[in-house]
Amino acid sequence: MKKISLNSKKIAEYLNAGKRFDGRKPEEFRQLSIETGVSANAEGSARVKLGNTDVIVGVKLATGEPYADSPNKGNFMVSAELSPMSSSRFESGPPKFPVIEFGRVLDRGLRESGFINWEGLCIEEGKKVWTLFVDIYTINDDGNLMDAAGIGAIAAMKTAKLPTYDKETETLDYKNPSETPLPLNDVTPIAITAYKVGDKILIKEKEIKDY
């Protein structure tokens, strides 16, 4: 493949012609593949490849007490681990602000989308609810990472099954999951990141800062 030097003139020429350097149209999404059930130890899991970007998302469930302001609703938490092996921009050690913000943005998008049936996660109002954990692990970051992670979270939750729960002993049996799916509503949110460059709209591309 011929290597193209990125500069403002070359970029303007391509955009005016309605083209991008990888052959896509400005509004065209990357090639997408989704594989579910990739983890034997998660209640739901998915691997998403969006172009060369590659992420794995796992869903885990535990029981706990509800928050005081939502006694009949489940709890929710999204965390992300952006591996240095997936991009030179990521560093080892405690998560820095961009990593924390990455998880917060996905958390807010999923939480406010209407996708999760919060009341369906209630076991006993005011006492016991399901806590839903969504964990994101990056394998390769080649752009559209937020979108890939969001799609992976949706796929993992759609295929998740609740662990077997014994109300009398208040214990969970993770080795023998129930056939009860995660309570979800008939809504499927999709994250699509776009940038406006001049009068053109682009679905997010790698190293958009160069534009």
- pLDDT one-digit tens code per residue, 194-210: 777 777 777 664 433 33
Average pLDDT rounded to a whole number, residues 7-12: 69
Higher-pLDDT residue of 40, 192: 40
Contact 58, 160 (CB under 8 A): no
Of 34, 75, 73, 78, nearest to 59 (Cα)? Answer: 78
Contact 15, 200 (CB under 8 A): yes
146, burial (CB in 10 Å: exposed 0-12, middle 13-18, buried 19+) = buried
pLDDT of residue 124 exceeding 80, the answer is yes
pLDDT of residue 93 exceeding 90, the answer is no
Q: Dihedral through CA 122, CA 124, CA 128, CA 132, nearest 10?
A: -10
Give the gyration radius of the chain's Cα atoms.
20
Average pLDDT rounded to a whole number, residues 176-194: 89
pLDDT score, position 183 = 97
Structure letter (DSSP) for residue 208: G
Tokens, residue 162 = 């609740």
Dmax (CA) for the chain in angstroms is 70
173, burial (CB in 10 Å: exposed 0-12, middle 13-18, buried 19+) = exposed
Per DSSP, what are the bridge partners of residue 35? Answer: 47
- pLDDT one-digit tens code per residue, 15-73: 777 777 777 777 777 889 999 999 999 999 999 999 999 999 999 999 999 999 999 99
pLDDT score, position 201 = 75
pLDDT of residue 110 exceeding 50, the answer is yes
pLDDT score, position 52 = 92
> What is the pTM (predicted TM-score) of this model?
0.83
Neighbours of 141 (CB within 10 A): 21
**pLDDT above 90 as % of the chain:** 56
Per DSSP, what are the bridge partners of residue 32? Answer: 50
Residue 90 CA neighbour count, 13 Å, CB half: 21
Of 130, 113, 115, 138, nearest to 56 (Cα)? Answer: 138
- pLDDT one-digit tens code per residue, 136-159: 999 999 888 999 999 999 999 999
Element (H, E) at 58: strand 53-64
pLDDT of residue 97 exceeding 60, the answer is yes
Query: d(Cα 74, Cα 54) in Å, to the nearest integer?
Result: 30
Q: How many helices (H) and strands (E) does the chain have?
A: 3, 10
Contact 184, 117 (CB under 8 A): yes
